[in-house]
Structure 1
Amino acid sequence: MRFRASQAAHATHGTLHGEDVVLDTVAFDTRSLVPGQLFVPLVAERDGHDFLDAAVAAGAAATLASREVESGIPVIRVADTAAALIDLATWARQQLPARVVGVTGSVGKTSTKDLIRAAVAPQRRVWANEKSFNNESGLPTTILAAPDDTEVLVLEMGMRGFGQITQLCGIGRPQIGVVTAVGYSHTEKVGGIEGVAKAKGELVEALPADGTAVLNADDHRVAAMSSRTQASVLTYGRAEGADVRIADLTLDALARARFTVHTPWGSTDLALAVGGAHMASNAAAAIAVAGALGVDLAVAAEALSTARLSAMRMQVLDAAGGGRVVNDAYNANPTSTRAALDALAAMDAERRVAVLGMMGELDDPETGHREVAEHAATLGIELVAAGTDLYGVPGRPAEQVLAELGPVPPGTAVLVKASRSVGLDALADALAAAD
């Protein structure tokens, strides 16, 4: 989105010092800043004002600032740069004529966001979060980056506590809200899984009466959210009676789902390019959103057949040693890890190994990790713990895991999964490259 510095000053209750230049979106990270953008120096563990020289060198056309700065470019002085970013995005959302789709859930929200974008794109000009820009800085940045002619804006919404999704909905004002699942993720922040359900349901509570709540019929906590919204409801899943119903689901040698979907707009067959039976549910959510937006069912299904996900989501890598490595290391909780293990078990392989790191932000980490280990054993999967003893087996450093498992030979499939803070994606890449 393009806007003037004076408009940004008005939206943020700030004062413009310097020329009223035209600005082309915003950036809060100088490493990704491109010429013409408004620099937003956020103050967190590090003070973004300290990087103003780097922003100017990268081509920032103006900057927000909450203290005195010398920059050589126009400065919009505000009380708080983080609050100003939210105010600016709230104003920008009011300028966009787009239909906004909010997506949340304990698992699958990024993949569902990616699939919604793919399903809608053939017939609508669509914009969505990059990666997982789903918090109080990433979501405003996504809105401000949307082209002026955007018709559908897909906003992933993360949750770390009560009230956060309400805040994000206040910025993005979604008309369609998708809730994928309620699982054991961030439970320590909200007092357990019922707290997760309460917090996730803030999305459907924020929808207008003429909006649409898209709810997972296979998750009873999600399905129960129908009573918390004034919007109309579309359900999806395998459950009998789901409005968008998955039927005749099978998996190929790479655990990619093939199924029929029955919808209010007709029925069609889908064959996904990404692994995991759980991806059928995410695709059904995308079909529901596409249908609510008036996208042709056959067109949406065709687009989903070639859709790719953001990196580190069930990303199958052909290992140099002849086997396969599944990089699902972007994040992890017990629900998503069990789904990834199920996908690994369905793959055509003689040996299946799960390299699992710690799952963070659980209210009961011992139970969560132990139950995942038990699930792996039930499936006949070898479990290798990387950097944690919580799975009930001795944890190994990543370097030792690489030495023991690499190169990955033909007939072997290795899943790598952990919370993002563990950084096991580097191990997945190393295992794939080992020869």
Structure 2
Amino acid sequence: MIALTIAQLARIVSGRPVLSGDDTPDTVVSGTVDTDSRNIGPGDVFVAKPGETTDGHLFVPGAAEAGASLALVEHPVDAAVSQIVVDDVVTAIAELAKHVVATVRGRGDLRIAGVTGSNGKTTTKNLLARILEEEGGTVAPRASFNNEVGAPLTMLRVTDETRFLVSEFGASAPGEIARLAGLVEPDLGIVLMVGMAHAGGFGGIEATFHAKSELVRALRPGGVAVLNVDDPRVAAMAPIADDNGTTVRWFGRGERADVRAVDVEVSASGTTASLVVDGRERTLRLRVLGEHHVMNALAALTAAIAFGVDVDAAIARLEAVELAERWRMQPLGGDRVRIINDAYNASPDSMAAALRTLAQITAPGERMVAVLGAMSELGEYAGEEHDRVGLIAVRLGIQRIVVVGDDARRLFLSAVGEGSWDGEAVFFSTADEAFDYLVDELREGDRVLVKSSNSAGLRHLGDRLGEVFS
């Protein structure tokens, strides 16, 4: 965070300072801002956020012992650290983030990109950050810091040396993206796709469209909207950009795309695509597994070009990325049994894409095994969407479908109903039961996909399988 006095901080967040030790209102604070006391070090700012299972105020003394210079609290705490008392710490960090970003932008050449979409946000954010970091100081979210807490915390890492801020905007209800993007008014916004992820919270696919389009509406006049030409709902955001005085740059496989993939080949070692960029053909060799990640790479490349990055340099940086993020199409295991751990998040679209990738990278004589768990946040659509994934798995010829968790039972029943009734599909209530089965069942030549939403916890099952078969 940029340097601010305690008095300045208090004014920005409309709070009341409670000083400790030798601190005065003019004491300068400039450390990292975090809600996790385990990440706090000397000079940092601890945010005591109340939670569902615990209260951050309980950890203020620990943060003080770790060297925190300030705590942001909703009530004073008996601890040897200066505090600013506010009505709501989440609102306070948003206001602080807005001030910090505006200050840095006013002093120099800070460029801000926002990324949203039903799938692919984190991968695209990481790919774009990887391109930009060689152009200058770049701040991007850790993991999926894309909500009302994570997004402001990322923004607060901006300093006067930062040239690029890449923000990921997720949402579980209408208005959230507008509120988060409104804190920084991005120069560029990427919309990847409008799918069924979080549809339960939004109330359906059309409501999801309106929520994702909030990023386009939040762009600064004269900015750039980077839109997926292949997704009709994303393409329908172009008039919003026009009304905003925003330029549209298209990516995808359609002929209208400014950055287009005309041929894609998927293998166990990565994905190769022929690209057409402003009329010139180039080759992209991604090490990241999965045809669907080509679209994420196209989006990142389109954004980088809009920011003035040389095309060939950007492609070379994309090709250097070995893993987009832990638990996202992460190769594990060894030559005997290959594990693909993609269990950090899941939606109907990403489930289908991951299953197709499994089919594409499995050679003749090898066996496809899909270990599948529940997809969360689908609301009333959960049953039919789990049914659909079961059908896809069977129709792709997956030889073993291992369904884990009671919330995913519909997926298992769908697979059985579609024809996997002779032992091809099995069900286990717990990951431990599935692990015991898989350790005995997997054999040389198996290619194993582990896929579920984060809440299902299968990412840890994937890690365990990777260790056993490494």
Shift of 1:259: 1.1
What residue number does 1:92 align with? 100
Deviations 1:193-241 (A, max 9, x none): 1111111110001112200000111111111111112211011011111
Query: Could you tell me which of 19, 43, 53 is aligned with 2:50?
Result: 43
What residue number does 1:204 align with? 216
State whether structure 2 residue 436 is matched by structure 1 residue 395: no
Query: Could you tell me which of 294, 309, 315 is aligned with 1:280?
Result: 294
What residue number does 1:264 align with? 278
What residue number does 1:433 align with? 467
State whether structure 2 residue 90 is matched by structure 1 residue 74: no
State whether structure 2 residue 439 is matched by structure 1 residue 406: yes
Shift of 1:317: 0.7
Shift of 1:178: 0.3
> How far apart, CA to CA, are the structure 2 residues paired with 1:60 and 1:251?
49
| Aligned amino acid, residue 415 of structure 1 | L
Residue pair 2:61, 2:78 contacting (<8 A) in 1 also: no
| Aligned amino acid, residue 2 of structure 2 | R
Unaligned segments of structure 2, at least 5 residues: 414-425
Q: 1:216-255 residue pairs with structure 2 within 5 A?
A: 216-229=228-241, 230=244, 231-254=246-269
State whether structure 2 residue 390 is matched by structure 1 residue 373: yes
Judge which range, 23-32 or 173-182, deviates more: 23-32
> How far apart, CA to CA, are the structure 2 residues paired with 1:27 and 1:123?
27
| Aligned amino acid, residue 387 of structure 2 | R
What residue number does 1:326 align with? 340
SS in 2 for 1:249: strand
Q: 1:106-145 residue pairs with structure 2 within 5 A?
A: 106-145=118-157
SS in 1 for 2:43: coil
Residue pair 2:362, 2:368 contacting (<8 A) in 1 also: no
Shift of 1:16: 2.2
| Aligned amino acid, residue 201 of structure 1 | S
> How far apart, CA to CA, are the structure 1 residues paired with 2:431 and 2:81?
46
Percent identity reads 39
RMSD: 1.5
State whether structure 2 residue 372 is matched by structure 1 residue 356: yes
| Aligned amino acid, residue 6 of structure 1 | A
Deviations 1:177-198 (A, max 9, x none): 0011111111111111111111
| Count of residue pairs brought into register by the alignment | 433
Shift of 1:266: 4.3
Judge which range, 397-406 or 369-378, deviates more: 397-406
- With normalisation by structure 1, the TM-score equals 0.96
What residue number does 1:181 align with? 193
What residue number does 1:160 align with? 172
> How far apart, CA to CA, are the structure 1 residues paired with 2:463 and 2:256?
42
> How far apart, CA to CA, are the structure 2 residues paired with 1:253 and 1:310?
17
Residue pair 1:265, 1:297 contacting (<8 A) in 2 also: no
Shift of 1:265: 7.9
> How far apart, CA to CA, are the structure 1 residues paired with 2:281 and 2:300?
14
> How far apart, CA to CA, are the structure 2 residues paired with 1:399 and 1:327?
16
> How far apart, CA to CA, are the structure 1 residues paired with 2:276 and 2:133?
21
Residue pair 2:76, 2:83 contacting (<8 A) in 1 also: no
> How far apart, CA to CA, are the structure 2 residues paired with 1:105 and 1:429?
27
Alignment CA distance shift 1:429-1:32 (3 Å): same
Residue pair 1:402, 1:431 contacting (<8 A) in 2 also: yes
Shift of 1:81: 1.3
| Aligned amino acid, residue 7 of structure 2 | S
| Aligned amino acid, residue 410 of structure 1 | E
Shift of 1:267: 3.6
> How far apart, CA to CA, are the structure 2 residues paired with 1:371 and 1:162?
26
> How far apart, CA to CA, are the structure 1 residues paired with 2:337 and 2:274?
31
| Aligned amino acid, residue 3 of structure 2 | F
SS in 2 for 1:406: helix
